[in-house]
Structure 1
């Protein structure tokens, strides 16, 4: 009897990869806080994860299969609470909060995967 890790781990491997991509986008926003004309970007995490799941979870099976770089058309632009005259829409407090929440969510998915793998290891060992 073989173990299907995709079924055993659920949505968390795809979520981890997507969270890593979102981290890159948010870090880019923070790095460009003082760049005139830079428009802050983000992604709709839930919708993108659902898109990956609907496609059979193969959104990340090959490099570049689902490109989520900062120029990807699926990225959304933030509407600033306080627009600046230079056209930069990065608000550092908003970006830092989003980055922190994303890091926390990444850690949560990582913890779930770790617990599931430990459970599988115990089952294999017959404990």
Structure 2
């Protein structure tokens, strides 16, 4: 595997990991008002590529945030207890949107790295043909 294809492989794995992270963030945002919903947390791991020394980024196990669920006061809600409260979700939209922005920027950085490695590889091939 050449250095250019290794760089493209690493950046492609980064794009895949960030895309999966964005998918879980969008699930968190869409379920922000779902009673009892716990936000999903994504962790990243490094893994060696097949037969190479190049590390790749992979998404580890997805875990649920164990922080306390918010208590919502709504006596008319069917899930409300005798005090009129029920367990909401532990999703904070501000945090989710900030994480989504970070994942988007990381995806774009990996995309630029992939494109740059492709351009460099193409330029090298053109030079070698001369």
TM-score between both structures, scaled by the size of structure 1:
0.72
For 1:2-81, list aligned pairs within 5 A: 6-45=5-44, 47=45, 50=46, 53-54=47-48, 56=50, 74-80=61-67
Give 1:76 deviation, angstroms: 2.0
Q: Who is 1:102 aligned against?
A: 103
Q: Distance in 1 between matches of 2:36 and 2:5?
A: 42
Q: Deviations over 1:2-40 (max 9, x none)?
A: 857642424111111111111100000001110101110
Preserved contact between residue 70 and residue 88 of structure 2 (Cα < 8 Å): yes
Preserved contact between residue 39 and residue 88 of structure 1 (Cα < 8 Å): yes
Unaligned 5+ segments in structure 1 are: 60-65
Preserved contact between residue 39 and residue 87 of structure 1 (Cα < 8 Å): no
Preserved contact between residue 15 and residue 110 of structure 2 (Cα < 8 Å): yes
Number of aligned residues: 108
Q: Who is 1:122 aligned against?
A: 123
For 1:73-92, list aligned pairs within 5 A: 74-80=61-67, 83-85=69-71, 86-92=87-93
TM-score between both structures, scaled by the size of structure 2:
0.70
Unaligned 5+ segments in structure 2 are: 72-86
Q: Distance in 2 between matches of 1:55 and 1:112?
A: 18
**RMSD over equivalenced CA pairs, Å:** 2.8
Higher RCO structure, 1 or 2 (CA under 8 Å, sep 6+): 1
